[in-house]
Chain A
Amino acid sequence: MFRFVLRHFNLYVLTLLVLCIFSFWLAYLFPGDPLVNLTGLTLNDPADYQAMAQKYHMDSGILVQFWHYLVLLWDGDWGFSFSSGLPLYQEIFDSLPATVELSTYALLLSLLIGIPLGFLAGLRHHRTTDNALLAASVVGYSTPVFWLALLMILLFSLQLGWFPLSGRISLLFDVPHDTGFILVDIWLSDMPNKGAAMINAVQHMVMPVLSITIVTTAIVLRLTRRAVVEVMPKEYVQAAYARGLSKHQVILRHVVRNAMLPILPLLAMQSTILLTNAMIVEVIYSWPGIGNWLIQAIYQRDYPAIRAGMLAVSTLVVSLTIFIDLLARIIDPTRERGARAKI
C-alpha cells in the first residue's frame, strides 16, 4: 500500500512540475518582456525594473529563474493582473469558489436524480422503462451544454420570465465576500434581508445548475445502470433470492452496496467534465467564476492572468483526478489498475 501511495505522490509531483514549467515557459512565449509577463507590472522606472529583475533573478540562468519562480508561486506571490492591477492570487481565489459552488450543487443534484433513475433502469433491464431512460440519457449526454444553456435562457428568462439570466444574485444585495460560496456567505452575513437574498440567490442558481445537471445526470444514470446490470446476475444475488429474501430485501442489502462500491469513484472521475461544463456555463450566465474570469483574461490579453489561471485550473483538475484515483484504490484494492468508467 505504501508503494502505491508513493507512486501516486510521485505522479502528482511530476505532473505539477510539468505544469509549472509550462506556465513559466508561457511568460517567454507570450509577446512582450518575460519579466512584465511574470509580474504583471508595467515597469517604467528603471529602478523598479531592476528591483523586480532581481526578485525574479532574471540575470541568472533559466534554471535559477525557474527555481525562484517556484518559490514565489509557493509563497502565493503570483504577480498582478494587467487589466485590474490586483494580485492574481487574490483574484483567482475570489472566483474559484464560485465555480466550485456551481459544480458542487450540480453534482449533488445529478446524484440525487441520476442514481435512483439508474437503479430503476438497471433493475428493469431491457424493458420499456430501461429503454426510455436510456434514450433520455443519450439525449441528455449528447446535448452541448452551451446550447442547452442558451435555450433555457430563451425559454425560462425571456419568454416566461421565471428566472434571471445572469450573475449569482441581484446586485442590489451587497453580500460581503467571506467564503466565496454565496449561500454560505449570505447565511454568515448580518444582512437585514437574509431570506430575500437567499431566495434571490437560489433563483439565480437554478438555470446554471440545471444546465450542468442535465448532462451530468445522464452520465450518472448510465454508470449506475451499468453497475446494477453487472451485479444482478452475480451468484450472491441469486443465492439471496434462494434464501427466500424478498426482492426489496435483496436490492437493499446486496445490490445497492455492491453496485455503488465500484461506481462512486467512477462518478467522481467525471469531475473533470463537470468542471469544464461549469466553466462554459459560467460564461453564458455571467457567473463570476474562474471560467468567466479566464475568458475575460484571454480577451483582454492579460498574459499574467492567463498564465496563473491556467496553472490554478489545471492544478485543481490534476489534484482532483489523482486524489480520487488514489481514494478509489484504497477503498477497493481489487479494482484493476487504470479501470475507467464505461457508460
Chain B
Amino acid sequence: MLKMSADPLLSVEDLRVEFPISSGVLGSGTAGTVKAVDGVSFNLISGETLGVVGESGCGKTTTGLAILRMLGIAGGKIVFDGKDITNLTRGQMRPIRKKMQMVYQDPFGALDPRMRVRDIIGEPLIAHAEAKEKAKYRARIEELLDIVGLDARMGERYPHEFSGGQRQRIGIARALALNPKLIICDEPVSALDVSIQAQIINLLESLQKKLGLTYIFIAHDLSVVQHISDRVMVMYLGKVVEIASHTELYKNPKHPYTQALLSAVPTPSPDAEAQREVVLLEGEVPSPLNPPKGCPFHPRCPVARPECSVKAPEVVVDSVGHQVSCHLFS
C-alpha cells in the first residue's frame, strides 16, 4: 500500500543469528548451535509499519536486535538507509545508531532507576554530542516530553514515580531524541493494561504521521499488530512463514500456522465468538537446537504432506505481494 520510494529504508537478506551452546570445563567445546534466526529476508519501505508476530522463542526480538547490530550475525546482509551495515565495526556503527532506535518491552527495566527522567531522555543527545548548548538541550528535552504527552516538569522525577504507561512514554521519548528514521518496537505494549495499550498504540501512530517514522512492531498479540501494521510478517522457529499486507493477511491467511494463529484471536462479540472456528495446534514448538527437517512447522501442521518433512518449502509471492513459505502453494 505504501509505494512511495523504490529504495527500501531497510532491507534484510537471509539474516541468520546463531547462539552456540558451549560445553566442557572451559567452555571451549560446542554442544550445538541454536539457530535463533534462520534465513530471514524482508524489506521495509520508509514510513511503513511492519508487524512481526510469532510465538515466544521464534526469533522476533533476536531479529530486531540483530538489525541494531546488538548481536553477532552469523550470515546474511542488512542494508539500512542505502548502506550495508552487516560488517561495520562498533565505531562505524555509532553514527548509524542515531537513525535506528528501540522501544523495549518492559517499561520497568528499560529506564535506569537511578537517573532522572530528563537525564534518561537526554542521554542519546549527550552520547552523540548534541547537548553542547545547555539551553537548547533543555528545550529539546521539554519538547520530547511534550511530544509523548508528558508534563515538562516530570523530567525532574525518577522512573519509579511513574506508572507503566508513563514509563513507556518516557522510553518512546528517549527513542525519538535523535530524530531516528527507524524505531524497533519490541512488544511495547504487552506489559501494559489493555486501556493503556490503546493509548500507547495511538501515540505511536500519531508520532509516525507527524515525524515520518518507520516501525518494526514486534508483538505476539495479533489484534494489536492488525491495528498498527501496514504489513505483517509471521515467524516460526526463526523462519519467515508469511508476509502480507495486513488486510490481505487477515482476510486470506495462507499458511496453516497463520491460520491457526488468527483463529486463536478472541472476538469481542459473543455470537461471533460462539461460531469462531479454532484451529488447535498440537504439540509444542520444537527445540531450535534441533529443528525438524523440511518445513519447520510440519510436525504440528494439520495439513502436512509427505514432502513437508523432506524438503523446506520455497518462498512463493503472488500478484498482490503476499509471500508464503508452504508446500501447499508451490
Our verdict on whether A and B bind, yes or no, reads: no
